Amino acid sequence: MPVLLYNTLTRRKDEFVPLDPPQVRIYSCGPTVYRFAHIGNMRTFLMADILRRVLTYNGLQVFQVQNITDVGHMTEEELDAGEDKMLMAARQEGKTPWEIAAFYTEAFLRDKERMNMLHADLYPRATDHIAEMQAMVQTLLDTGHAYHGDDTIYFDIGSFPEYGKLSGNRLEKLQAGLHRVARDPRKRNPEDFALWKGAEPGRLMVWDSPWGKGYPGWHIECSAMSSKYLGPQFDIHTGGIDNVFPHHEDEIAQSEACFGLVPARFWMYGEHLLAEDRRMAKSARNYYILSDMEERGFDPLAFRFLCLQAHYRAKLNFTWDALAGTQRALEGLRGRIAEMKAAAEPTLSLSGDGAAFREEFRDTISDDLDTARAIAILWEALKSDLPAADKLALALDFDQVLGLRLDEVSAEALPELSLDLRRLVEERDAARKARDWPRSDALRDELLSLGFEVQDTPEGTRVKARQSAAGGVA
């Protein structure tokens, strides 16, 4: 089956064929490094990780660039309305903006590692590419796509008739809502966006330019870095759904005006992660980072597993109960892998039903990264009548995409259950089937007192010898 990806630019699933096969060039919008990335950000970055893994699984060679925005602005509206995010963080933490950027960049890279995301091939920083941004701005001035508005240089979207082709926010649609927006006298059109801004007095992050001291607009940063490392046109651009407009719409306009090509052929977006059915916000007290999970005893890979159980283009509601259930499922999966590793080595080749499971998995993930169905196929394979060696081979093969680090699960000596222990396990399974939860809990406690961990799996109760704090069997 070919790889099909939903392309926001065409508003349909398109067959993906690289511009220069077998190489695939991807640009992924990265973090603005003035604070820790929250778990909604991490879900977006995970989508790009799964995309990379799926393409690699299909035999393609991926080169991924993920930018680091270390100038500080989030959107032009926020920047115009208040204090620059990077400068605000620097003031609050008593550090320079560059120290803030370095600290939170390292935190972001650690978070990617904790969630087992593959690292990008390059992490260009915006502040290292001011010259490239200025060169693009000058080209846009020379070709009539940009103009001076006092000390700021603006892109004239009236010079780009295709503006709005990504988001659907066409110029006439934007103009229809102008009665709600105060007109900026520096702009020819209210919808024009800043390419370069003159520095206000006292600003710390500022650079010399042919137009005076200033700093770049948000959108020009990604256009300059993507074109430098991936060329004027590349294969795929990824980001969160809130990047569609205005950020990526403006990227397309300035890049295409500069180079004559739409910068990416495919534009892919991860949907929002809700927390307790609401958008995450510190004011709502539902704003979480990975460290919040770890402080509550959760494995970051459990959050990865939770995200994989919903399609990347669907909203996902995060709750602590959902994460707890997913962590139990992950522990059960690891238990199954440990049992299979103790019983057999993975087979070197698959045939029959084993090969059929692999083909179904490949077709599923190649259909717009359908990880939810892919996980269901994994469980179906593990519950099948296949030999343990085939099941283990499939699980490890699938994990090249799922990224749950199943290859790191160690084979453990499984307990030989006495007749009495088997009786307790059978009684507990019967209690759970009858939904007799007090009896089920009592039997769990009895098994724990006898030195056995208890795991609930789709096949019933599983037990293994409990490890003491010193590493021995309790």
Same domain assignment for residues 136 and 284: no
**Residue 473 domain flag:** no
pLDDT tier, 26 (very low <50, low <70, confident <90, very high otherwise): very high
Q: Domain end: 384, 408, 432, which one?
A: 408
pLDDT of residue 73: 56
Please report the pLDDT score of residue 460 as a whole number.
75
Question: pLDDT tier at 79 (50, 70, 90 boundaries)?
Answer: very low
pLDDT higher than threshold 60 for residue 82: no
User: Does residue 474 sit within a domain?
Assistant: no
Residue 100 forms part of a structural domain: yes
For residue 414, tell me if it sits in a domain.
Answer: no
pLDDT at 168 > cutoff 60: yes
Q: What is the pLDDT of residue 298?
A: 92
* Number of structural domains in the chain: 3
Q: Are residues 321 and 374 in the same domain?
A: yes
Mark whether 389 and 443 lie in a shared domain. Answer: no
Domain boundary among 365, 381, 408: 408
Identify whether 259 is part of a domain.
yes
Last residue of a domain, one of 364, 388, 408: 408
Residue 313: which CATH number? 1.10.730.10
User: Which two three-digit tokens encode residue 117?
Assistant: 């995301």
More confident residue, 282 or 446: 446
Which tokens go with 13?
Answer: 């699933």
CB 286 within 8 A of CB 38: no
Q: Judge whether residue 72 has pLDDT over 50.
A: yes
- Whether 28 and 127 map to the same domain: the answer is yes
In a domain, 472, yes or no: no
Closest CA to 51 of 308, 291, 338, 243: 308
Q: Is residue 471 part of a domain?
A: no
CA distance 463 to 453: 5
Mean pLDDT over 382-390 rounds to: 94
For position 469, what pLDDT does the model report?
36
pLDDT band at 473 (very low <50, low <70, confident <90, very high): very low
Residues 294 and 190 in one domain: no
**The pLDDT of residue 451 is above 50:** yes
Considering the domain architecture, whether residues 363 and 444 belong to the same structural domain is answered as no
Q: Is 55 among the domain residues?
A: yes
- Mean of per-residue pLDDT scores for the chain: 89
247 and 344 co-located in one domain? no
Lowest mean pLDDT among 266-270, 412-416, 426-430, 459-463: 412-416
Instruction: Tell me: pLDDT of 255 over 90.
Output: yes
Pair 189, 112 in one domain: yes
Q: Give the model confidence (pLDDT) of 211-225 as tens digits.
A: 999 999 989 999 999
Percent of the chain with pLDDT over 70: 89
Query: In this structure, are 437 and 299 located in the same domain?
Result: no
CATH number of the domain that 225 lies in?
3.40.50.620
Closest by CA to 252, choosing from 267, 273, 271, is 267
pLDDT tens track for 335-355:
889 889 988 899 988 899 999
**336 lies in the same domain as 316:** yes
User: Are 71 and 176 within one domain?
Assistant: yes
Mean pLDDT of 407-435: 74
For residue 237, is pLDDT > 90?
A: yes
What's the average model confidence in pLDDT over 161-179? 79
Buried b (16+ CB within 10 A) or exposed e, 278-304: eebeeeeebbbbbeebeeeebbbbbbb
What is the mean pLDDT of the segment spanning 388-411?
95
Is the pLDDT confidence value at 472 over 50?
no
Those residues whose C-beta lies under 8 Å from the C-beta of residue 386, and which sit 6 or more positions away, are: 353, 354, 357, 394
**The pLDDT value given to residue 216:** 96
State the virtual CA torsion across 402, 403, 409, 415 in degrees, nearest 10.
Answer: -30
Which pLDDT does position 201 carry in this prediction?
85
Domain that holds residue 451: 419-465
Tell me, yes or no, whether 241 and 303 share the same domain.
no
Instruction: Report how far residue 400's alpha carbon sits from residue 305's, in angstroms, rounded to the nearest whole number.
Output: 14
